[in-house]
Amino acid sequence: MYDTHCMTSTPAMADSPQIVWPSNIIGARTVCALLNVNRGTVSRRVKAGTLPVLAQLDGPNGALVFDRAAIEALGAAA
C-alpha cells in the first residue's frame, strides 16, 4: 500500500487522496523561490491556513514540506 505521509487531498477533491511522489516534495526554501516571497511570509501563510502544508517532519524544529504542484498552482493564481 501507499504511505499515508505521502498523500494529501485538495479542497476540491477532499474525498479523493492524491499521491505525491517524493520528487514533488519541496521545502520552505523552494516555496520561497517559487512564490517570490521571504521565509516570514511562508510562515505567516502556513499559520493562516492559506499555504497548504503536506507534512511536518519529526524533530525539535520539524521542517515543513510542501507539494510542488499545489505551490505552483498558488503561484500561477497570484
Q: How confident is the model at residue 60 (pLDDT cuts 50, 70, 90)?
A: confident
Q: List own/partner pairs for 71-74 with CB under 8 A and 24 or more apart.
A: 71/26, 71/30, 71/31, 71/34, 71/35, 72/34, 74/35
Provide mean pLDDT across the span 29-53.
96
Classified by CATH at the fold level, domain 22-77 comes out as Arc Repressor Mutant, subunit A (1.10.10)
> Over the chain, what is the mean pLDDT?
83
Cα 16 to chain centroid, rounded? 17
pLDDT value at position 17? 79
Range name among 6-15, 22-31, 46-55, 64-73 with the lowest pLDDT average: 6-15
Specify the pTM. Answer: 0.73
Domain chopping of the chain, boundaries: 22-77
CA distance 65 to 25: 6
